[in-house]
């Protein structure tokens, strides 16, 4: 069969030996050498066909991509010509890779633009999921191990693909290898640009390209970088494991993050790898494919022989050390030394702290004066920032006691230990927690408006979607706290420790805070900054 490529043809199918289309009269041989045999699909910019090259012996099969401008205005023709010339230059530059189709020809004919590429027989991984089922973790790992070197290669050529998705990755029939196709959205110039998050690789483009759901925010904002392809590859992995299009997976309306974790079953390490690939904020995403590859190699090396088993002791019979060599770093080797004691240095330190604290006799408001039996909290005893002043022995409370006391009218819970408590969705406006230990507390969705939190330790706390407006956090420790979607409007954060705090999607309008502090925290395009602008800065 001969297929007519005239966009306006009412009946494009013709007999194999026809020279002119029987329906519209157009010539069927494109550029007098390519006979189109069938259509592969159509999109917003044009169509793709399978053809044979009748000018060569054996009439080899090829793929022809035709750009059909939406109108004949010179502006649109110029844009169309730019797209195709860009793809042609890029394919000519990178087409020597065995897992990228080679460019065979490029031309313009009757105001249509044509790319002729090597034909790859096979199926897309989108079709593979439909036909063979979802990918498990091991298959996702193998998929990444194979496709990442291809992306490394195109990035080494200063090329950003910008449209990585399941439909653009083929599994070649002859050798089962993955092949990356469709470079129509490529960006082949990368430059240093200054952004609110620092200097990064990027480039302005005249129009946003890519597929909705797979393209990250900076690409949709016409600032694609190498990490944009990493995000798209992460979304591709989610599709392969769930069979769900990105538009069918919930997004956090405050942070813009895809809520994919509940749809897959993965090891902790693979969850972390994919999570970093899918970071909405470029600053916290993997910056290069090599970083992803190293993380995956760490997954392989760190995997236990059997799931759930603890790592083998350093000096076990199956891992013998040379005679006299100490398994502890920094301890000198001594051939005559006795075996190292089982008690670790960290445990000895914790025991010493516990003995010192238990020697005291503070009054406990919960048990009416009985000496406290709570030992040292190792989580908060390590890494306390320098701005934290020494605090007195704190009195441990439970969630019900705090809620009951608040209902009775008590508002001051200063210097108490409420670390690790679950107070999610609690209604505690105006609460006073000055100098309190609130490490790892769960206050998700709670209302703590106009609270007093100066010198309090909120390290590792869950404050997601929490109302903290007009709160006073001077000298508070919010290191690694989860503040995604939190309302911190008009809060006072000067001198607070925000190192590693997650402020993605948080409302910081009118907040008293320095640029240096925010540079230590995690923000994204959904964060409302002190000037009231979303995704901007100051």
Chain-centroid distance of CA 302 in Å reads 22
Tokens at residue 33, please? 């050498």
Name 395's bridge partners: 416
Contacts of 246 (CB under 8 A, 6+ apart): 212, 213, 214, 235, 238, 239, 258
pLDDT greater than 60 at residue 532: yes
pLDDT tens digit string along 320-330? 444 344 443 44
CA–CA gap between residue 275 and residue 167 (Å, rounded): 22
Compute the Cα dihedral for 263, 269, 273, 279 and give only its sign. Answer: positive
CA–CA gap between residue 460 and residue 479 (Å, rounded): 6
> CA geometry: angle at 21 spanning 18 and 24, to 5°?
165
- With b meaning 16 or more CB within 10 Å and e meaning fewer, what string describes 186-219? bbbebeeeeeeeeebbbbebeeebbbebbbbbbb
Domains observed in the chain:
2-118 (3.30.200.20), 122-302 (1.10.510.10), 394-538 (2.160.20)
The residue annotated as part of the active site, out of 8, 53, 105, 163, is 163
Residue with more model confidence, 475 or 362: 475
Tokens at residue 5, please? 């490529």
In which element (H, E) is residue 14 found?
A: strand 13-14
CB 215 within 8 A of CB 122: no
CB 239 within 8 A of CB 264: no
pLDDT tens digit string along 292-303? 999 998 755 444
Active-site residue, 163 included: yes
pLDDT tens digit string along 152-177? 999 998 889 989 999 999 999 999 99
pLDDT tens digit string along 440-450? 999 999 999 99
Question: pTM of the prediction?
Answer: 0.59
SS3 letters across 369-406: CCCCCCCCCHHHHCCCCCCCCCCCCCEECCHHHHHHHH
What local confidence, expressed as pLDDT, does residue 187 receive?
Answer: 61
* Of 364-368, 513-517, 527-531, minimum mean pLDDT range: 364-368
């Amino acid at each position: 069969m001969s297929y007519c490529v005239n966009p306006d043809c009412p009946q494009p199918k013709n007999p194999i030996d026809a020279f002119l289309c029987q329906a519209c009269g157009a010539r069927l041989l494109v550029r007098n050498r390519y006979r189109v045999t069938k259509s592969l699909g159509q999109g917003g910019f044009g169509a793709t066909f399978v053809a044979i090259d009748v000018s060569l012996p054996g009439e080899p099969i090829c793929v022809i991509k035709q750009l059909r401008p939406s109108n004949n205005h010179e502006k649109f023709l110029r844009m169309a010509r730019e797209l195709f010339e860009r793809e042609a230059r890029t394919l000519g530059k990178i087409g020597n890779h065995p897992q990228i189709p080679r460019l065979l020809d490029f031309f313009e004919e009757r105001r249509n633009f044509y790319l002729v590429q090597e034909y790859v027989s096979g199926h897309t991984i989108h079709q593979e999921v439909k036909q063979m089922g979802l990918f498990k973790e091991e298959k996702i790992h193998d998929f990444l191990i194979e496709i990442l070197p291809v992306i490394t290669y195109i990035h080494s050529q200063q090329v950003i693909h910008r449209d990585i998705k399941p439909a653009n990755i083929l599994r070649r029939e002859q050798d089962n290898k993955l092949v990356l196709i469709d470079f129509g959205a490529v960006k082949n110039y990368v430059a240093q640009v200054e952004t609110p998050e620092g200097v990064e690789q990027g480039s302005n483009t005249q129009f946003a390209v890519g597929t909705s759901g797979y393209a990250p925010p900076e690409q949709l904002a016409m600032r694609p970088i190498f990490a944009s392809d990493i995000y798209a590859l992460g979304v591709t992995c989610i599709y392969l494991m769930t069979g769900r299009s990105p538009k069918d997976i919930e997004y956090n309306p405050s942070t813009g993050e895809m809520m994919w974790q509940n749809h897959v079953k993965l090891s902790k390490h693979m969850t972390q790898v994919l999570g970093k690939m899918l970071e909405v904020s470029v600053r916290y995403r993997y910056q290069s494919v090599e970083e992803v590859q190293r993380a995956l190699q760490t997954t392989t090396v760190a995997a236990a022989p059997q799931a759930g088993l603890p790592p083998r002791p350093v000096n076990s019979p199956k891992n013998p050390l040379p005679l006299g060599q100490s398994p502890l770093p920094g301890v000198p080797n001594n051939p005559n030394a006795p075996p190292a004691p089982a008690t670790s240095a960290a445990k000895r330190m914790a025991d010493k702290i516990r003995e010192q604290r238990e020697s005291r006799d503070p009054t406990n408001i919960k048990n009416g004066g009985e000496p406290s039996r709570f030992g040292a909290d190792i989580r908060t005893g390590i890494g306390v920032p320098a701005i934290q002043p020494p605090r007195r022995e704190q009195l441990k409370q439970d969630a019900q006691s705090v809620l009951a006391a608040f209902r009775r009218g008590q508002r001051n819970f200063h210097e108490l230990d409420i670390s690790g408590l679950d107070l999610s969705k609690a209604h505690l406006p105006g609460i006073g927690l000055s100098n309190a230990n609130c490490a790892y507390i769960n206050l998700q969705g709670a209302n703590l408006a106009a609270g007093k939190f100066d010198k309090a330790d909120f390290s590792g706390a869950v404050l997601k979607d929490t109302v903290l407006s007009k709160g006073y956090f001077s000298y508070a420790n919010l290191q690694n706290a989860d503040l995604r979607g939190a309302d911190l409007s008009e809060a006072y954060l000067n001198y607070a420790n925000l190192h590693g705090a997650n402020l993605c999607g948080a409302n910081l309008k009118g907040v008293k805070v320095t640029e240096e502090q925010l540079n230590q925290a995690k923000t994204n395009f959904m964060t409302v900054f002190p000037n009231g602008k979303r995704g901007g800065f100051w």
